[in-house]
Amino acid sequence: MSKTTSTSRRPFRIGRAKTGLGLFATKLIRRGSFIVRYIGRMLPNRIADELDNKYLFEVNARWTVDGSSRKNVARYVNHSCRPNAEADVKKRKILISAIKTINPGDEITYNYGRDYFNAFIKDHGCRCAACHQKKLVRRSQHRSRKKRKGRKSRTRRTRTRN
């Protein structure tokens, strides 16, 4: 298979995202369809544990895939707390597939899981679209709460007893 054929058959491209590079759909990707495989060398977990590498993907209790190679385009798929894809492990293969219909131009994301989130995202805050949206809502709620402050508080209804 020539390189050009394989690239044009892919339903995505690498592009600029909010948090660096990301993977974006170039074609409609239907829910449930396979997108890309997360590839890399297979390392025993005890060796992977020693590495300082953000692209380690643990596939089971013994093995981890080191996805840091640039050949692994799946490494460009960013984390989202409300993703449109998921990474599934089948016989030590990591397959990323759509869990929603993904439209051309949409960024492809999956949830990296709690361990990754706590290790790499939590401290500086998640910048996924869902969290960004939440932050905006919180900010506007805060603003309207401030506005309300001056007003008299609502009187609570008291039960009348005979």
Question: Does residue number 131 form part of the binding site for Zn ion (CB under 5 A)?
Answer: yes
Cα 66 from chain centre? 18
State the minimum distance, in angstroms, from the CB of residue 112 to Zn ion.
Answer: 10
Q: Residue 63 or 117: which CB sits closer to Zn ion?
A: 117
Question: Does residue number 95 form part of the binding site for Zn ion (CB under 5 A)?
Answer: no
Q: Which stretch binds Zn ion (CB under 5 A): 10-18, 46-54, 55-63, 126-134?
A: 126-134
What sign does the CA torsion over 59, 63, 64, 65 have?
negative
Question: From CA 115, how far away is CA 112, in angstroms rounded?
Answer: 8
State the minimum distance, in angstroms, from the CB of residue 131 to Zn ion.
Answer: 3
Q: Residue 77 or 128: which CB sits closer to Zn ion?
A: 128
Total residues contacting Zn ion by CB under 5 A comes to 4
Nearby residues of 78 by Cβ (< 8 Å), 6 or more positions away: 17, 19, 20, 22, 23, 107, 109, 128
